[in-house]
Structure 1
Amino acid sequence: MQHTILDKILSYKKMWIADQKKQHSLHFLKSKIQASNRDFYSAVSRNKYQKTIFILECKKASPSKGIICNDFDPIKIAQTYKNYSSVISVLTDNKYFHGNFNILHQVSNIVKQPILCKDFFISEWQIYFARLHKADAILLMLSILDDASYQKLVKIAHTLCMGVLTEIANEDELKRAKYLGAKVIGINNRNLNDLSVDLNRTITLSKDIPNTITVISESGISNYCHIRKLRRYVNGFLIGTILMSQPKLNAAIKKLILGENKICGLTRVRDADIAYKSGAIYGGLIFVPTSPRYINITIAQRIVSCVKYLSYVGVFCNAPISYIVTIVNILGLAAVQLHGVEDQDYINILRTRLPITCHIWKSINMNHRPLSKCNILNVDRYLADSGGGSGKTFDWSLLSSMQLDKVILAGGLTINNCNKAAGIGCLGLDFNSGVEIKPGIKNHQKLIKVFQIIRSY
């Protein structure tokens, strides 16, 4: 299948280049362009203090997915990407990806990062055309270029001070990339024959890449767990599809880069505001009367109405289902978090009473009954905890045998241990007493600091 698709793309690309040359000759392009002044290689350089590199992509469609983003606005996308991205990638193929070269220009005008032109480069003319539209780097696929063609295109790009991301998909292409002196290698996790994705390809191929080369993992990275799992093997990630398919782009990026983190026990508007601005996705509102962080519906409404961008989770313990449903409907909660002995029957009934948009989270006391499998029916997330409100950690090695893509880690998380906690690879972290001045009153400096630490990987 992929061979046929790739054949069609390359056949069309040759016709497109021939047609465009009639309008923009190579001589014309050379007379109009200047060398790039945005250093792609510096932006993705390996050094002791380099954080994970994120190349975020503007992409409206793909052959495998069709239209990904119906409301595709490159300027709005770039304005969000510039806060997180080391480099911004733009798909410029018009027929199969619904891109165009004007997007390069639009994005370049509002960001300072280097712009990567992602297309099927087979001709030197394309490089000059990309540079005319302000591209600072190009993607070269070894699957469609022989060694001589690759070397020729790299030389031209470097003459224009443009960077090159060299894409490989197998061991043979990796050997060629190393022989040809590639500075930055992108490992494509997508199978070029059937379009399937295998993230283990990154792990397998990266082991044979010397640490003098920057390594980027491409395709199929869809959540924070993937990032943390693969980070030990690579320097960064090129990500587009999963972000372009999300209606709330900023939140989607935070989930991907920082995890689905929650600040629980909110009692004040100002704390919720700082939690969101620092990087939290969720705000926890506790409706357990025995908790020192218990709030009534009036306070909860004030918080929810004033800080609208947090997704709110209501925390309950053995509460009547009717009470939970009432709170959910008044506040428009994103999830309910169950901390008691709610059994499968209770959860099943609750599911039928809640809006479909409201998820169910179940807290698991790992000190009492560790959960080996995340298989409770109608539960969307699991909170691995040491017992609600204890302020203590549990033995995190208990998580080693668990699938972590639905698990949020809680219990005793602080500035001092959040880096290690994040490295475990759960979907997110849940902070409460470890970022407080006193119960229910958050320490803003600690809130800011924990997210800085989480992002330091």
Structure 2
Amino acid sequence: MASLTQLKTLPATESIISGITNADDLNTATYAGLIFVLTSPYGIAIDAALEFADASPIPLIGIFQNSDLEDILYVSEQIPLFAVLLNGWETQGFINQLRERLPMHIKIIKIAHMCDGNPKMNYQNVDFYLLGGHVGEQLAPNWTLLEHLNMENVFLSGNWADDTTPPKVAKKLLGFEMNVKMMV
């Protein structure tokens, strides 16, 4: 599994640390991911996020998994989000509805499941992708496949099985995503 030290030495320029639950963890990345998934062991309640969200020195990403549209919109009205990350099986229709109702300054990031063999990264109204797996799933990426994808708007989950990312892939990525609990 990749470590924070390895994450900081990779050539990609951006990083998302998800699972942020307090102000002390806010300085660990380019973006802080707040997981608004009730079943996640790394989740945060909106009232807890409100305690430090307005004072965050870095942009915040709200992470949702198969959430109701109204729930995502409510959180985006309460928390100053840079983006929402859709980490479930959201459809193109759902994404279109979200884009219509979400303020335009809030970006949309969609998970592209690497276990699918050929991750779907052709959604409309999506600004960025996160190549990853299911919550807590350790990945065995197909590096050959990834070398041939356009990855300029792609974050790669840091929960991969080996400790290396081939340079051809790492140079093409926008950045990496890692859970704060992995950095202990």
TM value normalised by structure 1: 0.35
> Relative to 1, partners in 2 of residues 1:389 and 1:424: Cα closer, same or farther, differing over 3 Å?
farther
Q: Distance in 2 between matches of 1:281 and 1:266?
A: 12
Among candidates 280, 302, 305, match of residue 54 of structure 2: 305
Unpaired segments ≥5 residues, structure 1: 1-256, 438-457
Gaps spanning 5+ residues in structure 2: where?
1-10
Larger strand percent: 2
Q: Matched residues in 2 for 1:355 and 1:304: separation?
A: 18
Partner of 1:452: none
Verify the 8 A CA contact 1:412 1:434 in the aligned structure 2: no
RMSD: 2.5
C-alpha distance in structure 2 between counterparts of 1:335 and 1:401, whole Å:
27
CA contact (8 A) 2:146 2:169 kept: no
Question: Percent of counterpart pairs with the same letter?
Answer: 32
* Residues 269, 294 of structure 1: alpha-carbon distance in 2 compared, 3 angstrom cutoff: same
**Whose relative contact order is higher, 1 or 2, with alpha carbons under 8 Å and at least 6 apart?**
2
Q: Supply the distance in 1 between the matched residues of 2:46 and 2:177 (Cα, whole angstroms).
A: 22
> Counterparts in 2 of 1:57-456, with a 5 A limit?
259-272=13-26, 274-275=27-28, 280-307=29-56, 309-371=57-119, 374-412=121-159, 416-417=163-164, 423-432=170-179, 435-437=182-184
**Structure 1 residue 436 displacement after superposition:** 3.0
Q: Deviation at 1:262?
A: 0.8
Paired positions, count? 174
C-alpha contact (below 8 Å) 1:413/1:430 kept by paired residues: no
Which structure has the larger Rg over C-alpha atoms? 1
CA distance in 2, matches of 1:353, 1:315: 17
Deviation at 1:397, TM superposition (A): 2.4
Shift of 1:260: 2.0
On the 8 A contact 1:408/1:428 being kept in 2, the answer is yes
In 1, the alpha carbon distance for the partners of 2:132 and 2:168 equals 12
Structure with the larger helix share? 1
Give the drift of 1:347. Answer: 0.4
Q: Please tell me whether the aligned partners of residues 20 and 180 of structure 2 are also in contact (alpha carbons under 8 angstroms).
A: no
Give 1:424 shift.
Answer: 4.3
